[in-house]
Amino acid sequence: MDDLRQELTTATWRKSTLSGSDGTDCVEIARLTGGHIGVRDSKNPTAPALLLTPGDWNTFIEGIKSGQFD
């Protein structure tokens, strides 16, 4: 896990196309080694990022698609 945390410092971050147009509610993700995903708040990129396993990421995406977080 420490290697993945280190990888976050040099990762290429991508902002969600669904982020608020006014700069609020912005989420960025970075694809990491082994299919892991880093997730961070683009307004505070130096704050700790979440690290998700591939399975956790898939569960999260399915929850979004099903409206679980609406």
Q: Is residue 17 part of a domain?
A: yes
Q: Is residue 10 part of a domain?
A: yes
| Sheet with 27-31: strands ordered across | 14-15, 27-31, 37-41, 50-52
Query: Containing domain of residue 60, as a range?
Result: 2-65
R_g (Cα) of the chain, nearest Å: 12
Model pLDDT for residues 11-66, shown as the tens digit of each residue = 999 987 776 666 666 889 999 999 999 999 888 888 999 999 999 999 999 998 99
- Domain tally for the chain? 1
Q: Is residue 70 part of a domain?
A: no
